[in-house]
Structures are given as structure tokens and as C-alpha cells.
Structure 1
Amino acid sequence: MLDYEVSTYGDKSAADYDMLMGGGEPPEPAVAFLTSLVPTGNALELGVGTGRVAIPLAGDGLSVTGVDSSAAMLAELRRKPGGASVEPLLGDFGDLDAAVGDRMFGLVYSMCSTFYFLRTQEEQVRCFRGVAARLEPGGVFVLELGAPPYRRMHERQYVDAFRVRADEAAFFLSLHDPLAQRVDRQQIVMAEERTRLVPVSYRYVWPSELDLMAELAGLSAVSRGSGWSGGEFAGTGRHVSVYRKEAV
């Protein structure tokens, strides 16, 4: 996607993000899952956005830092009730050395397929290695990811409607490169008063590929469930994958 930068999605969507995403799912299941793994200490969210999970997590025993490439997203985080409880860092989580320096964390996590915003395999592998370097011994890396688009594997372009109302329509226009595992997409919201365009470009990852990235970084696979409440992941929908850095 031409003229697309690491901060483009956040900058374009920040003001409307919670509305466009329907406010997201309730954060309580994710918070309960994360605190069951790491109840106290320092946590880092990759791509913190507007802080849907980071804010309640910070109120539940963890010291939470959130890194995001979009200053507009971090501004929305600060404006939210409780937003001051999360330490915001402006930076690219694909380069954690530059983003967080030599700080260490017991928990690193990423929500809603945000890891996919690293658009090449090399960037994703570098992120895993950066996370491993920033994890304390015994620390965990948790990723919530959507499954690859199995039903779309042979389609180069497609359209999905995700909201249709009397005064508004919202849909995705997607170009798909199955060899690069890349999707370039416009999220389009059309209403009587205005039309909004929110571009996003991402690279999806097969679960087995994700496990290999973790192994290359020195992390061990712990679990993979179908969501925050657990259950077997059957290959569709989303999964929550957990990796651990071995204790010394």
C-alpha cells in the first residue's frame, strides 16, 4: 500500500477507533487471563491503542506500559478515565530496543491481531527476539490473533460488509497476496454526513510459523486456546497463544 507508514492506521483511526470497533469486547476476560499468568510486576502492551485492556489491567495489580507508533492513539489513551495509570511510550514495537530501552517485564502481550501490523516476516521475527530480550526469566509473551483467512486463500481481492444501518454502511475492501501472507485493506464507513477511510496493511501468520518464530527467539510454547476463556483452537476464528522464557 503506497504511502502507508507504521503509524498510519493509528493516526487515521484514533478519533473514531472505539466507535468503529464497537468499543471492543469487554476487557475482563483478557485481564483475568493475563493476571492469572502474571499477577504482579511490570507488563508491556505492544500496540496499546486507546487502552481498552491496559487501563483495567493497570488497576488490577500490574504496572503497565503501553507502546504505540501513533501519537494520536496515545492521546486518546490519556484522555480516557484511568488513562494516567498506563505509561505511554511512542515507538515501533517492531524495534523494542529503541522503544523501551533495557527495561524488563514479566508480561508482554498484544491484543486483537496487532502483532500482524508488522508487515514482513523479518519484522515479526525481530519482534519476537526483542520480546525475548525484554522478558524476565519465567516471563510470558501472550498474543491474541485471528486465524489466517482459510476461506480466502485463493482470492486476490474481496469485500466484506460489517455494518449496515439506515443511515450508515461500513465495509472492508481487501487486496490479498497469499504468497506474502499480506492484506492491504480500506475500512470504509459511509454516512450521510461524511465518509471515513481507515487504511490498514498487515501480514497474517500461521500458528506453526508463530511457534517457529518463538523457538528462534528462545521462547517455549505454553498453550494455545480458542479465546481468553480457553477451549481447543480448531484452526478458525481467533487464538490466544502463550510463550514463556525459561527461568534461569
Structure 2
Amino acid sequence: MNGKVALVTGGSRGIGAATALRLARDGADVAITYTAGKEAAEDVVRTAEALGRRAVALRADSADAAEAAEAVTRAADALGGLDVLVNNVGVGLLAPLENITVADVDRVLATNVRGVYMASQAAATRMGHGSRIITIGTCMTRRVPGPGGTLYAMSKAALIGLTKALARELGGRGITANIVHPGPVDTDMNPADGPYAEPQKADTALGRFGTAEEIAFMVAYLAGEGAAYVTGAEFSVDGGHGA
């Protein structure tokens, strides 16, 4: 990754922060976006800079179509190009079908689908041969273990179609597109010792939560030279959630 530039959306915490720092350790300069977590985003930047990399944090709301696209342009301008886009930002809403409002649908789809589309579209205009678009999906696109996941699963399933279409759209330019499906991951939003943790652990073959670093490892592989012939593919890093 030496000399490469990566943008990780939603990179101030959790999987996004772990991914940004893993790419920095592998030699990439990194930009991250955030909405409310300015201090956490600045911590990620400082850590990346301590590794000898250039880094920048950009406030951008991916639910806003213009901001989602502009963040890509701002990142490329700040760091002198763009080689890797990691579409990590997303919102989760789990609720009974009858309780989900039109406003809920609009908010989730704006962030999880439209924002990813706009960022990918903008990135494609700045990327050259060998670039990568990597999107974070969910294990719930492969198997929904219980009720309450209609909106979230639908929004993330849309990204599978987008990924495969991007692979075809951009393959002639040597740009790959892949999607990673995490299982339950220990983060601030979904802690491994939280009130809903035990059923999630039971849904995996390994009986545990994953770590953000384990997801970041897969993203780093897809961003690296070894994955140059991998595109339009789905990768489950879910502890056997779908087994």
C-alpha cells in the first residue's frame, strides 16, 4: 500500500477506524469521514500520522447525497489522489416491521444505499488502473436469524447488486469492487458484553463476536496487490453465522 491513498467513510470508530489504521500500517495515506465523532476522528488521524502516514478527517453526512460525493473529492484533493474507497459508513435500525416509519426507511436507505452509490460514483471519476472499491455489508444479507431486520437487511442487500454492477462497469479500467459481510463484531454500538450479545454469539459457529481488526484484515487484503484478480465477490467474515 506504499504510496496509495485510501478513503474510509465512517472511519472514526469501530470497523471504520480499525480499517483506516490497518491501511495506514500497510503504508497508505488515509482520509476518513465522520458526522458527530470529531474527537474520535482526530484520534484516528493522530494515530495514522504517528505511523508516518498523511491523514485527514472530513466531516460529511453520507445521508446527504451531495456531501457523500463531495467527501470523495475533498479526500482526493487533500491527499493527491484516490486509490481505495472503503464504503464503511452505515446505520442500523432493527425494529418490528409494523413499527418502521417512512422516515426510518428514507434515513436508512439514504445512508446505506444512496450515500454508498454517490461515493462510489465520485470515486470512479478520480481512480486509475488498479484501484479498489470495497463495501461493508452484513451477515444479515446471507441469513437473517430473527425478526426485526427487514429494513437493515434490505439496505445492505442492495449493496451486493451495486458491487457486482460496479465490477462489470469498472473492470475494463482495472478497478475492482468487492463486498465484505461482517458477523457480530465487538464495537461501541454492539459490545460483546452487551444485553443482546448472547443470542448473537449463539448464532455463530465459533460462539463469539469478531473484532474490528479481523474485518479490517479482510479489507486490507482486498485493497492490496494480492487481490488484483478478485472482483464482484462477496466475503463473509462472520464466525460461521451463515453456516
- TM class by shorter chain equals 0.3 to 0.5
Structure holding more helix per residue: 2
The structure with more radius of gyration: 1
TM value normalised by structure 1? 0.47
TM value normalised by structure 2? 0.48
